[in-house]
Structure 1
Amino acid sequence: MRRFAALFEVLDRTSSTAAKRDAMAAYFAEAPAGDAAWAVYVLGGGKLKRTATSTELRAALAAEAGYADWLIDESYQHVGDLAETIALMLPSRGDEQEDTSLHVWMEARLPSLNALESSERIDLLREWWRPLPRGQVFLVNKLLTGSLRVGVSHRLVVQALAQWANLPTDLVAHRLSGNWAPSATAFRALAGPERADEHAGERPYPFFLASPLEQEVTSLGDVGEWLAEWKWDGIRAQLMRREGETVLWSRGEERLDGRFPEIEQAARDLPDGCVIDGEILAWTLDEAHPLPFAALQKRIGKLKPGPKLLADTPVRLMTYDLLESHGQDMRERPLAERRAMLASLVEDRRPTLMLSPAIRAPDWTALTAVRAESRERRTEGLMLKRLDSPYRVGRKRGDWWKWKVDPYTIDAVLLYAQPGHGRRSGLFTDYTFGVWDDDALVPVAKAYSGLDDDEIARLDRWIRSHTIDRFGPVRSVEPTHVFELAFEAIQASSRHKAGVAVRFPRILRWRTDLAIRDADKLDELRRLASG
């Protein structure tokens, strides 16, 4: 654990991407394979199971350090992160008395908590903490609560592995895809030579992601060199037909077995060795247009949807690309060729499997006019893909662009704030905003991105001195500040007090020029949701 704690400290203290990549590559070269495997999993965003509750952590701290509950609560509210609060409040330790391997913590120690009663867990936590220095106490607590974040992306972990193994990043990314399980053997296999059967089995291909188009669209050159498609709002997925089995993988590399049986049924007679990239969408019963993403969410949470849900919320796979055909990797072939082959594959499987329509336009001006119809068509804008492009890995700029319509914007009042996570755990960075419903401010959105470091620090100081109530880590503040928020979509929602739900809200700017009376009204959001 000592070596991993040192790596974590380096990653937490630098904002340099190159420095983070180099530090991870050095760690992979030096650490035991079992430890390195768990570092890959944890840093790459693998899901961690919570093995102790916050109540148990607080109780263990109170018993070990002798602090009153009110002091622990006050300290936690100030620090904003329970794992860090515990590490700071425990008595100072001397030199480290043990160095249990990371893989032992992950495979034996932490899982052992599940079999214990709560009082036994509290006693064991105290026993674990005693020989550990402060940094390792923090890490152990983060791991057992399942909330370790350190500003490292999955892509950066892949790059560090590729640097360590001296292999192409695309190959490493593919080896990590799917249900990669951390072990010493699995870690060593990441660095092995490329095999002829590299793409066999149930492992999906890494997804190619489009970049936001931030320059003038005319800078892309001749419109005839590009494929334009609608940008659909669904679940990006790969449909795989191999060895007589059908598997659906989400972009988050989760198997969706049984959740969308109509898609699996439509794929049963696809040729073996076939992998299709597409978007799962909920669709209206009259085949007119896609349903909002919220309708699709009803299906996501059901491992085995019942007949009524299947009938009320039908789905389809809007297919984009053909990644594998008859067991052959097609990704290096031009998009135009892959798309032509895909069209012939799905032609007789409509509407459950259908080709994403190509949008024809003689020039960029005409295509811009088509893009203006996006919201009427229940889409987010356009996708632009170079017709001669290969299917790349990750978000590599140049060949695929997402040309989204301008977001909706509102002016809203800051109502609540709570601490962030990771490097921002000691600052109030997660905000709740409201708009006017007659004479009352009603919460409509939560956002935690869009302000720079100076604005965050200034707002944090203001929040601490203008708190009017507290609810655990959440602070209610005086309604004083107005912010301009952007969001991609809005719809009616019975689950929210305001009756509407916005999608992907974020802060555009701090409107110091506006008073709270100038904030928007809920009626306007309801009008947008109904339109």
Structure 2
Amino acid sequence: MKRFAALFNAIDQSTKTTVKVAALADYFNDANDMDRLWTVALFSGRRPKRAVTTTRLREWAAEAAEIPLWLFEDSYAVVGDLAETIALVLPPNDTEDKSDLSFWINALRGLADVGELNRKTFVIDAWNRLGGTERFVFNKLITGGFRMGVSQKLMTRALSRATGKPEAELAHRLMGNWHPDDVTWHQLIEADDATADASRPYPFYLAYALEDGPGTLGDPQDWRAEWKWDGIRGQLILRDGSYFVWSRGEELMTDRFPELARAIDHIPPGTVLDGELLVWPADQDKPSSFNALQARIGRKTVPKKLLAEAPVVLHAYDMLEWQGDDLRDAPFADRRALLEQTCADLPPEAPLRLSPQHPFESWDTLASLRSTAREAHAEGLMLKRADSPYLAGRKKGDWWKWKLDPLTIDAVMIYAQAGSGRRANLFTDFTFAVWNGNELVPFTKAYSGLTDAEFRQITAWVRKNTLQRFGPVRQVTPHHVFEIAFEGIQASKRHKSGVALRFPRMARWRQDKPLAEANTLDDLNEMLRIYG
């Protein structure tokens, strides 16, 4: 644990990528195999399940620190991080424990099989044995909130430096449904047959946002354009007679989309397709809204009624593997031609569609097409250089997303709630309303878009203008108008307003606008009619 705690300090105390990569590479060179394996697992989201509730941890920490629970809770509200709060309130401990990271992880996992009294004894004993950063890291492990500012890209770069293997190969090895319980360090990182897992996806290639238009991209003839769909980015993998569906967030979602199993009947094995998962009924010429897809996302099993009401297809726009061969180094135009050939004779019942490309002669022509994206239920356009390979992660230059400008509406802040982490002492989460006659009707929440200075300013105002408190939420005097930006709008039976927004955020604080000039519920419904 001491070695891992030192790594944590090195990463936490620097904002420089080079420093973080060097610290990780040194760690991967020095640590034992199980610690290295668990470190990779922790940084890629494969954390042990939480064995103790946060309620019990707060109670035990207050008892061990010999302070009343209310004082601990007030401290927690200010600090904003439970692991850090516990580390701060506990008495200092100068002892030095020599157990490694994997020992503590396995000990924590073993708590699931013992009673609460034994759990409490173990946790307090660990707090007595561990000091400084080691105690803080232990708290992070037990609370399950382990975040260290280490991206997958940064980790693969460090692994590449430590092992000498290419970053792209390592990124591919780390994809898929692996866990330290069923793989060794050698199998995951070093073995020659690391791609043997039939379900393993490829790292996704991600585009940068095109902020100022495509005029600086050169000759339009070098580029290909297609809709940027508003669905779930996914890979459909067909290998060894089975199919697998992976989201961009590296979540295996096969069971949620059973209709994609029919792809096995139409596409040969050894094929990997990149595309967008969309709800697209057979009798429609455009996909349903993202709201329809949300009904499918959270379900492990899908009833027949929902399968019929919200059928999902993969709108494929790239081919990454064909007949078992990795195509990612081939130019996009060649991959696309093979994809078109593969999809040319698909029957209507196939759960696949070819995402169409849009020919254009000039950037002005493309801009006109982009303006119609919402009519096609798309978010804008994707631009891909015809000769581009399929890279791993977010790379600038060859792939761009040219999204529509967001929709906006002016709304009144009526509720405020404190944030978390470094913003735990600021009000950052707000509820907004629009006018319905003389009544303000809440319709959305937003918590991003303002500067730290603006958050401090609005926090001071909230504290002086609170009307009522409902737990952590404060009702405030209706006074301030904010411009709310959002990507889409759908009808919703769960909200009093009857609408739900997609990706709402605060575009600006309209201190120049009086309360009476905020938008109305009729304005929202008109936007729903046009864009819903």
Regarding TM over 0.5, the answer is: yes
Query: In the alignment, is residue 513 of structure 1 matched against residue 518 of structure 2?
Result: no
In 2 relative to 1, CA 387–300 (structure 1 residues): closer, same or farther, beyond 3 Å?
same
| Structure 1 unaligned spans of 5+ | none
Q: Which residue of 2 aligns with 1:69?
A: 69
Amino acid at match of 1:27: Y
Is the 8 Å Cα contact of residues 435 and 518 (structure 2) preserved in structure 1? no
**Quick one: structure 1 residues 299 and 185, their matched pair in 2 at CA, closer, same or farther if it must change by over 3 Å?**
closer
- Are positions 1:121 and 2:122 aligned together? no
Residues 359 and 391 of structure 1, relative CA distance in 2, 3 Å threshold: same
Partner residue in 2 for 1:362:
361
Deviation per residue, 1:98-151 (Å, 9 max, x gap): 233211222x22212222334443343222212222433332222222212233
Instruction: Kindly indicate whether the alpha-carbon contact (under 8 Å) linking 1:482 and 1:519 is maintained by their aligned counterparts in 2.
Output: yes
Shift of 1:176: 0.5
User: What amino acid maps onto 1:369 in structure 2?
Assistant: S
Matched residue, 2:14 = 14
- Verify the 8 A CA contact 1:417 1:432 in the aligned structure 2: yes
Instruction: Say whether residues 1:408 and 2:407 are aligned partners.
Output: yes
Partner of 1:445: 444
Q: Give, in whole Å, the separation in 2 of the partners of 1:229 and 1:176.
A: 30
- The verdict on how the C-alpha distance between 1:151 and 1:487 changes in structure 2, with shifts beyond 3 A counting, is farther
Match of residue 23 from structure 1: 23
Secondary structure of the corresponding residue to residue 416 of structure 2: strand
Name 1:57's counterpart in structure 2. 57
Secondary structure of the 2:328 match is: coil
Match of 1:288 among 275, 285, 288: 285
Partner residue of 1:39? 39
User: What letter is aligned with 2:29?
Assistant: A
Conservation of the 8 A alpha-carbon contact between 1:483 and 1:511: yes
Cα offset, 1:326, TM superposition: 0.8
Which deviates the most, 112-121 or 269-278?
112-121
Q: Take 1:58 and 1:277, find their aligned partners in 2: how far apart are those partners?
A: 45
- Kept in 1, the 8 Å contact 2:84–2:136? The answer is yes
Which residue of structure 1 lines up, in the alignment, with residue 316 of structure 2?
319
Measured at CA, do residues 300 and 216 of structure 1 come closer, stay the same or move farther in structure 2, by a change above 3 Å?
closer
Cα distance, 1:234 vs. partner? 1.1
CA 1:201–1:285: 2 relative to 1, 3 Å: closer
- Work out the CA distance in 1 between the residues paired with 2:155 and 2:459: 32
Show the counterpart of 2:389: 390
Equivalent residues in 2 for 1:87-486 (5 A)?
87-90=87-90, 92-106=91-105, 108-182=106-180, 186-189=184-187, 191-192=189-190, 195=192, 198=195, 201-351=198-348, 352-414=351-413, 415-421=415-421, 424=422, 426-428=424-426, 430-438=428-436, 439-460=438-459, 473-477=472-476, 479-486=478-485
- Asked if the contact 2:80–2:420 (Cα under 8 Å) also holds between the matched residues in 1, the reply is yes
2:236–2:272: 8 Å Cα contact kept in structure 1? yes
Tell me how far 1:288 sits from its aligned partner: 2.4
The CA RMSD measured in Å over matched residues stands at 2.6
**Whole-Å separation in 2 of the counterparts to 1:188 and 1:452:** 46
Alpha-carbon offset, residue 95 of structure 1: 1.0
| Alignment deviations for residues 435-493 of structure 1 (CA, whole Å, 9 cap, x no partner) | 22434544433334333444445555555666555555555555554433321111111
Once the two structures are TM-superposed, the CA of residue 197 in structure 1 deviates from its matched residue by: 6.9
**Mean Cα displacement is larger for which, 379-388 or 27-36?**
27-36
Q: 1:215 to 1:237 in 2, by over 3 A?
A: same
Q: Is the 8 A contact 2:428 2:447 kept in 1?
A: yes
Partner Cα distance (1:478, 1:450) in 2? 21
What CA distance in whole angstroms lies between the structure 2 residues aligned with 1:205 and 1:479? 50
- Alpha-carbon offset, residue 170 of structure 1: 0.8
Pick which of 176-185 and 368-377 moved more: 176-185
Percentage of identical aligned residues: 45
| Cα deviation code 1:241-278 (max 9, x no counterpart) | 11222222221222222322222113334222111111
Whichever residue aligns with residue 418 of structure 1, its letter is A
1:305, 1:8 → 2: CA distance? 42
Q: Distance in 2 between matches of 1:434 and 1:474?
A: 13
Confirm or deny: 8 A CA contact 2:42 2:146 kept in the other structure.
yes
Please give the secondary structure, in 2, of the residue aligned with 1:267: helix
Amino acid at match of 1:276: L
SS at match of 1:258: helix
Structure 2 residue identity aligned to 1:76: Y
Q: Deviations over 1:382-439 (max 9, x none)?
A: 1111111111111111111111000112333442222323xx2544364123022434
- In structure 1, the partner of 2:502 is 503
Write the letter of the residue equivalent to 2:281: T
- 353-362 or 1-10, which moves further after superposition? 1-10
Is residue 413–residue 480 contact of structure 1 (8 Å, CA) maintained in 2? yes
In the alignment, is the contact (CA less than 8 A) between 1:347 and 1:354 conserved in 2? Answer: no
Q: CA deviation at 1:179?
A: 1.4
Q: Is the 8 A contact 1:374 1:405 kept in 2?
A: yes
The answer (yes or no) to whether the contact 1:60–1:123 under 8 Å persists in 2 is no
Unaligned 5+ segments in structure 2 are none
SS of match in other structure, 1:130: helix
Mapped partners of 1:13, 1:121: distance in 2: 32
Aligned length: 526
Q: Which is further off, 282-291 or 352-361? A: 282-291
Q: Within 1, Cα distance between the matches of 2:109 and 2:483?
A: 45
Paired with 2:447 and 2:403, the residues of 1 have a C-alpha distance of 21
C-alpha separation in 2, matches of 1:200 and 1:34: 21
